[in-house]
Structure 1
Amino acid sequence: MTDPATLAEIERSVSERARHSGLDPRAPGADRAVTGLAHEEIRRWNLDFKSGVHSHAIDDADALADRVVRNLLGYGPLEAPLADADVWELMVNAPHEIFVKRHHGPSGQHDESFHDDEHVRRTLTRIIDDATASHRKLDPSEGLQDAQLDNGARLHIVHPDIGRGGHLIFNIRKFTGIAFSSLSELTAVGTLTGEIAGFLRSAVRARLSILIAGAPGSGKTTLLGCCAAELDPRLRVVTAEEVFELDIPLPNVAGMQTRPGRTERAPVDLRRLVAGFLRMAPDVAIVGEVRDREAVPLLLTLSSGVTGYATIHAGSARQALGRLRLMCQLAPDVGEMPAAAISQLVTESIDIVVHLWRGPAGVEVTEVVAVEEPEGDGSISFDTTPLYAPARRGQPPERTAHVSRRVTSRLAAAGMEMPPPCEGGVGAPA
């Protein structure tokens, strides 16, 4: 592999020649022209080596010319992982610190790097400029930025005045390359069992509200979209997201995303979008991810009789309910609202919690839990019923021995039945 100093010197020479010749990097055929210039500079380098000017020759001219073209016209060291379907997340901490996460292959540090901070900034600017749907620019004054690339990937940026070491830090979370659009497709790849898919399909059609929990990158948004695809097409769906990710195949969908503030316009955050849900006559309200102040208006919307779906970061189904309550407690507009009242609001709003995780074999549903009405007033704990849970570690969830009063009643009202409890399943008397 050519050392970084040699690559940088060849790049500088090619860049100067391209600029002096008036080459437009966006013009058709620019890559061929730059490739030709790179090979000329490599040949000149090797002639100088024979004359004793350089201490080493460039052996793989094609590989180095390719890197020159990628660095000057493309996405530099990010092009290969961006094109690799096995890579689902890229993380850049500094010019020489690029890491990737893979579905199947080894995760870790990428074998290429940027030259310096300016190279990172130039590449990131190009990535954002090419994202025609995001309508955003690299703006250090924002501190933190989010955008969506044209292929659906999510971009999160931490600007140098916030990042350690004064570097641009950013993540790109890619879609899998396979657009899952139904619960049946998720069953086919092993994300959930056929029985769980059937139950979720019934839950959606019975208008139960579902909270989908898991760690970052665990497939929450994908499952949410597949559940929403099962909705009655006559329903009106209103969605709110930080950046557009959901693609719900229904005719009456009103989708909104946040926008950053500018000197000439005010910002619109997720809470403001969610607070306006009830003015948009939704049958179903969807929040792409609940993280902060939007938790309260979401629960107020759902407790008014609107069906809802949302995702949340949590390590288990019960933890998801606790985190949702905590977000409400931390919201500045809640005031002195008692914890018991917030727990009651969560209980009234959420019917089912589904938890996922990303394991060695891919994304899997690990548990499905029903939220029950509390037995008495004033309780701050959540009364839940495990519906699907693994009998043993590492196995897919199966129907438990438990019966949910709430879910059974709601399904019956819609003319459907809950799969019967498993007599020997999880939770059965020993």
Structure 2
Amino acid sequence: MSLVEWLKGKIQQKEDETEIEKVHTRRVKPEYRIIDEYEVNPPNSKVKIVSSPELGEGLYYFVEEVELTQEQYDTYQKIVRILSKEFTSPTEEHIDPIEYVYEQAEVIAEKYHKALGKFTIEQWDSIFYYVVRDLTGYGPMQVIMEDPMIEDISCNGLDMPVYIWHRKYESIPTNITFKSTQTLNDFIVKLAHKSGKHISSAQPVLDAMLPEKHRLAATFMNEVSVKGSTFCIRKFRAEPLSILDLINFGTISARIAAYFWLILEHKKSFMIVGGTGSGKTTMLNALLSLLSQNDKIVTAEEVPELSPPVSNWTQLNSRESFTTTEGQGDITLFDLIKVSLRYRPDYVIVGEVRGEEAYVLFQALATGHG
């Protein structure tokens, strides 16, 4: 499906909605104690870390977005409605959908300025913010997705607060709760669509990568999760941490870093083992910065997470079958590791080893590949 087709479908969906999305966002009360606050997408959104006996023990992550007046909200709906009828295809093949929708909204605001009402520049900016947020972004989750301090976002089901893992405050609940089953299901489908995957009652489990290179895991409806649809988004840094960053953070010592450098230099094999969220991928990406630019690298992953800073790199990813027949057409890690040995690599790097691919991996280790 093309960008235009997807946007038109999303615009039509918005037009068909008769009420505001059923996502509850609690506001900060004056009696709450504000521990920290910072802007994410100024001037339209900010984050506040708060505490209050009313909320319970611990800290809470509050998203605050600019509020629209009723007149602004009516104009927002009109713009979405007009976009559904007058949205035009971009002339360029590769274009940022966020910028394009923003430009289209500005064109409509100029064309129908008499019918849409008079607003200040700041008020128009707020209206456009919601148009872009809801049509091309992540809706009520947009601020969390843009917050560079967030490492992990998880929703455990309906009527439960979305949780985040904050780099400074660790695991805390947010003020965002999905109150509508349909809204939560639609959001899961939107995440799947953004990642170029499919999720449904027939295929209720999803493991994918979002356009921003964040890892997505999701379940659909009550097929495998008792509390309804769920999702977890693991956000990755735009620029991976280097080995020097890990030394400066105290994650590893300079002596251990030098030891790993010797291992890589002499093409010895090793494995990085740890629990979920312990930093295995972060560590591996940092170690890859020690490789020579002339080495031939082949990576095999289910979801692309590795990014060695070399040009001589072949990136292999597994995929599911396009047919409904189970097992036919699947490209597994087992297949990728076998084919990687034919690329005459200096190093074969496997993202995760959890099944039969371990057999081929150890065969590869026995051949002397790094």
TM bucket normalised to smaller: 0.5 to 0.7
2:250 paired residue number: 190
Q: Secondary structure at the match of 1:164?
A: coil
Name the CA distance, whole Å, in 2 between partners of 1:115 and 1:23. 32
1:334 paired residue number: none
> What's the offset of the Cα at 1:177?
4.6
Q: Are the structure 2 counterparts of residues 66 and 274 from structure 1 closer, same or farther at C-alpha, using a change threshold of 3 Å?
A: same
Paired letter, 2:240: A
Normalising by structure 2, we get a TM-score of 0.64
CA contact (8 A) 1:94 1:117 kept: no
Higher alpha-carbon deviation: 89-98 or 10-19: 10-19
What does the per-residue CA deviation read over 1:118-167, in whole Å, with 9 as the maximum and x for residues that have no partner? 32333344444444xxx434455333222212322111122225332362
2:151 paired residue number: 88
Name the CA distance, whole Å, in 2 between partners of 1:90 and 1:34. 35
1:58 paired residue number: none
CA contact (8 A) 2:299 2:348 kept: yes
1:270 paired residue number: 333
What does the per-residue CA deviation read over 1:67-115, in whole Å, with 9 as the maximum and x for residues that have no partner? 6874465312211111111110111222433211112125222211334
5+ residue gaps, structure 2, are 1-17, 23-69, 88-96, 117-124
CA contact (8 A) 2:152 2:165 kept: yes
2:237 paired residue number: 176
Paired letter, 2:270: I
Q: Are the structure 2 counterparts of residues 23 and 75 from structure 1 closer, same or farther at C-alpha, using a change threshold of 3 Å?
A: farther
Name the CA distance, whole Å, in 1 between partners of 2:306 and 2:193. 22
Q: Secondary structure at the match of 1:141?
A: coil
Q: Are the structure 2 counterparts of residues 191 and 32 from structure 1 closer, same or farther at C-alpha, using a change threshold of 3 Å?
A: farther
- Residue in structure 2 matching 1:105, options 164, 169, 177: 169
Name the CA distance, whole Å, in 2 between partners of 1:124 and 1:226. 32
- Residue in structure 2 matching 1:116, options 159, 180, 185: 180
> What's the offset of the Cα at 1:13?
10
Name the CA distance, whole Å, in 2 between partners of 1:64 and 1:18. 11
What does the per-residue CA deviation read over 1:316-344, in whole Å, with 9 as the maximum and x for residues that have no partner? xxxxxxxxxxxxxxxxxxxxxxxxxxxxx
> What's the offset of the Cα at 1:211?
0.8
CA contact (8 A) 2:80 2:131 kept: no
- Residue in structure 2 matching 1:249, options 303, 309, 333: 309
Q: Highest CA radius of gyration, 1 or 2?
A: 1
Paired letter, 2:220: H
Q: Are the structure 2 counterparts of residues 205 and 257 from structure 1 closer, same or farther at C-alpha, using a change threshold of 3 Å?
A: same
CA contact (8 A) 2:337 2:360 kept: yes
RMSD: 3.8
What does the per-residue CA deviation read over 1:332-383, in whole Å, with 9 as the maximum and x for residues that have no partner? xxxxxxxxxxxxxxxxxxxxxxxxxxxxxxxxxxxxxxxxxxxxxxxxxxxx
Q: Are the structure 2 counterparts of residues 95 and 35 from structure 1 closer, same or farther at C-alpha, using a change threshold of 3 Å?
A: farther
Name the CA distance, whole Å, in 1 between partners of 2:189 and 2:105. 19
> What's the offset of the Cα at 1:287?
0.4
2:42 paired residue number: none
Q: Are the structure 2 counterparts of residues 255 and 83 from structure 1 closer, same or farther at C-alpha, using a change threshold of 3 Å?
A: same
Q: Secondary structure at the match of 1:94?
A: coil
- Residue in structure 2 matching 1:153, options 214, 221, 226: 214
Name the CA distance, whole Å, in 1 between partners of 2:102 and 2:208. 27
Paired letter, 1:88: E
Name the CA distance, whole Å, in 1 between partners of 2:132 and 2:187. 12
Q: Are the structure 2 counterparts of residues 261 and 34 from structure 1 closer, same or farther at C-alpha, using a change threshold of 3 Å?
A: farther
Name the CA distance, whole Å, in 2 between partners of 1:68 and 1:177. 26
Q: Are the structure 2 counterparts of residues 255 and 18 from structure 1 closer, same or farther at C-alpha, using a change threshold of 3 Å?
A: closer
Name the CA distance, whole Å, in 2 between partners of 1:8 and 1:17. 17
Q: Secondary structure at the match of 1:211?
A: coil
Name the CA distance, whole Å, in 1 between partners of 2:304 and 2:197. 13
CA contact (8 A) 1:96 1:113 kept: yes
Paired letter, 2:228: H
1:397 paired residue number: none
Question: Superposed, which structure 2 residues align to 1:333-372 within 5 Å?
Answer: none
Q: Secondary structure at the match of 2:152?
A: strand
Name the CA distance, whole Å, in 1 between partners of 2:271 and 2:126. 48
